Structure 1
């Protein structure tokens, strides 16, 4: 009898259960659609993000070497620029060796502080050297990050200093600027993160002097580092 009653209850409830199954199906379909839309939004953001020129047209704070460029997230100042034909690097064990280039190493000494929370420069959105004709150079991979500003935390209320090293041809020096970019997530492109563009004051004559006075070797592993 129990079995019959159970069957009877099941048969009586079946009509009322069908709309619930349809509701569940609609919710599942809506959930899948939401996931697809979110994935499409991330893809569009990463692949159709504003160009460098569009972003810097209203999101870049500009200044010159020796000046403090302050944004809502950080402040940065370029202290000096040096050219060299060889610099230090380090291997996985920390052993320091010399590395050279057939072009030039530009060593930009930078000091920075964070406005609200600690930050560390990211290889996913590194500072750039921007040339007068629009070329962009990433920090060289010939120099280990442990010898540069990449290895240091930038703290609120404290100024953290270190070099950024770029390997560039001589014709990239005149009119070059440093574009200092804060760290961002590798998964999400933040088109509204502030950037600081610092004119390195390398006019024609100044660039010629810097190139002509390039050091044969510039150490990055001295006592001050």
Structure 2
């Protein structure tokens, strides 16, 4: 007896074998469910937007010791100047001037556990009342500043940070002092100290009216 085409198709359907198209559809569904589950799992560990990339800020005032879990720092004095003496490429004394004001901030710092040295990738900066930031000036030799100091655990290291700032930006200005960050991995929970320099009203008038014509970084070291 010769089987008809309808009988042959019936026997093929009755074997229970699944075609390749069905297999790929099932795998696609499983993969989709896995990705959805992974996304939900990852969201439970995602920081809120306002916390991403933000440091833990400890606030204080000039002459006060501001302590974090990685360092302690204090601003001991603030001086304004129209020009500073620094070192040139051959070690000679060089006078540099500014059309704004040089703000020379004396700081002292220590760490509880690990040595720390300031870096240019995330240096201390001045933060104005309206949110502008001023990095240390590149007109002075870093070997004469706090950048040249290695802050050791249990010991106090002192140095200056020199900024160029317009006089109109000085009211309410603060120093933001933070530890160095790596070039690739940024620690979102690295602490920083925000220190109010107290430049308002009478203190600001006194600072600007007594601005030095020439402040020598060379003599200070």
TM-score range normalised by the length of the shorter chain: 0.7 to 0.9
**Does residue 115 of structure 1 match 2:112?**
yes
Residue 72 of structure 2: aligned partner:
75
**Does residue 96 of structure 1 match 2:80?**
no
* 1-structure distance, mates of 2:121, 2:153: 22
Aligned counterparts, 1:193-204, within 5 A: 193-204=190-201
Contact in 2 for aligned 1:118/1:155 (Cα 8 Å): yes
Structure 1: where are the runs of 5+ without partners? 1-47
Runs (4+) of structure 1 exceeding 3 A deviation are: 48-51
Contact in 1 for aligned 2:86/2:216 (Cα 8 Å): no
Residue 217 of structure 2: aligned partner:
220
- Give the Å deviation of 1:193: 0.4
Structure 2 residue matching 1:192: 3-state secondary structure: coil
**Does residue 172 of structure 1 match 2:169?**
yes
The one-character-per-residue Cα deviations of 1:121-147 (angstroms, maximum 9, x if unpaired) are 000010010011111000001111011
* 2-structure distance, mates of 1:91, 1:50: 41
Residue 152 of structure 1: aligned partner:
149
Contact in 2 for aligned 1:175/1:204 (Cα 8 Å): no
* 2-structure distance, mates of 1:151, 1:218: 19
Aligned counterparts, 1:19-168, within 5 A: 50=52, 55=54, 59-168=56-165
**CA RMSD, Structure 1 to Structure 2 (Å):** 1.5
What TM-score, normalized to structure 2? 0.75
What TM-score, normalized to structure 1? 0.73
* 2-structure distance, mates of 1:79, 1:221: 19
The one-character-per-residue Cα deviations of 1:63-105 (angstroms, maximum 9, x if unpaired) are 1000100100000000000000001222233222110101000
Contact in 1 for aligned 2:74/2:109 (Cα 8 Å): yes
Structure 2: where are the runs of 5+ without partners? 1-49
- Give the Å deviation of 1:118: 0.8
Number of residue-to-residue matches in the alignment: 172
* 1-structure distance, mates of 2:90, 2:110: 30
* 2-structure distance, mates of 1:70, 1:162: 18
In terms of fraction of residues, the more helix-rich structure is 1
Structure 1 residue matching 2:80: 3-state secondary structure: strand
